Amino acid sequence: MNIVVLVKQVPDSGLARQLDAQLRVDRNGANNVMGELDEYAVEAALQLKEAHGGEVTILTLGPDQATETIRKTLAMGADKALHISDESVAGSDALATSKILAAALGRFEWDLVIAGAESTDSGMGIMPHLLAARTGVAAATGARKIDVDGTAVNVEHQRDNGYDVLTTQLPAIVSVWDTINTPRYPSLKGIMAAKRKPIETLTVGDLGIDAAEVGAAAAATEVLEAADRPPRSAGQIVTDEGEGGRALAEFLAAEKFV
């Protein structure tokens, strides 16, 4: 079973992030790390490999420094990586990014693509859908569990109040939430082995894509305005005169916690 995991290097979400003049996340000088949900995607792929055999390939689009993130995935247990690194992609929107990634996927045979449900820099959550449209396969998103049965993949799709079970034939694209597993830490043996694992680096030209088709100038979408998240409102204080339990139950129901 050949599995491809989409991995993105992003600014650390635990630190303050800045926007540049074009209202894009400023990555220069930021502490860049692997996307949080991408770690869960890598772990899901490794568990499927351990259960069914095969190979796990990491696919990354990003600058040269993204190699640090790639090495971590290889240390976790991935077998190899394809790194698309090209200055012309700077400022690309999701549509152009999906075009590049789809072209990269066309370079080899794969059964399953796994990605995080959304990236921690943009949080759009549309890449699995765009790739499914470009590659002509089904997308099962928001997974909390993945099970492969022969030529089919069964996914428990996370909902606010439960889950749905989705089934589709391979090849397919699946995205995952952090409820799916607990990512492993790279071992010393894995870190040493990662240094010998292959990382193929290509440009968009190597994928048959003209540089004029990607980047900020070719973007079909543009961020027009950005605003800080509004401050959290003060909580509600209830004086319990025998109705505290009812008030709590109504609040939990209204917020869909129960």
CATH code of the domain covering residue 117: 3.40.50.620
In sign, the C-alpha dihedral spanning 14, 46, 96, 140 is negative
pLDDT for the residue 18: 65
Please provide the average confidence, as pLDDT, over all residues in the chain: 89
The Cα 257–Cα 250 span in angstroms is 10
Q: Is the pLDDT of residue 186 over 90?
A: yes
Could you give the number of structural domains in the chain?
A: 1
User: Does residue 20 form part of some domain?
Assistant: yes
pLDDT for the residue 241: 75
DSSP summary character for residue 24? S
For 166-184, what is the mean pLDDT?
A: 96
Contacts of 79 (CB under 8 A, 6+ apart): 55, 56, 57, 197
User: Does residue 142 form part of some domain?
Assistant: yes
Contacts of 150 (CB under 8 A, 6+ apart): none
DSSP summary character for residue 25? B
Q: Is the pLDDT of residue 14 over 60?
A: no
Domain that holds residue 27: 2-227
pTM above 0.75, yes or no: yes
Q: Is the pLDDT of residue 197 over 90?
A: yes
Band the pLDDT of 255: cuts 50, 70, 90.
confident
Cis peptide bond prior to 128, omega within 30° of 0: no
Cβ atoms of 81 and 57 within 8 Å: the answer is: yes
Band the pLDDT of 246: cuts 50, 70, 90.
confident
pLDDT for the residue 58: 98
User: Does residue 243 form part of some domain?
Assistant: no
User: Does residue 252 form part of some domain?
Assistant: no
Residue 205: half-sphere exposure toward Cβ, Cα within 13 Å: 4
Residue 218: half-sphere exposure toward Cβ, Cα within 13 Å: 17
Q: Is the pLDDT of residue 25 over 70?
A: no
User: Does residue 199 form part of some domain?
Assistant: yes
Q: Which of 68-72, 87-91, 143-147, 218-222 has the least mean pLDDT?
A: 218-222
The Cα 249–Cα 257 span in angstroms is 10
Q: How far is CA 14 from CA 10, 63, 90, 121, in A?
A: 11, 21, 24, 11
pLDDT single digits (tens) 79-138? 999 999 998 888 888 999 999 999 999 999 999 999 999 887 766 789 999 999 999 999
User: Does residue 248 form part of some domain?
Assistant: no
Q: Is the pLDDT of residue 16 over 60?
A: no
Q: Could you count the other beta carbons within 10 Å of the beta carbon of residue 67?
A: 17
The Cα 97–Cα 131 span in angstroms is 9
Cβ atoms of 97 and 6 within 8 Å: the answer is: no
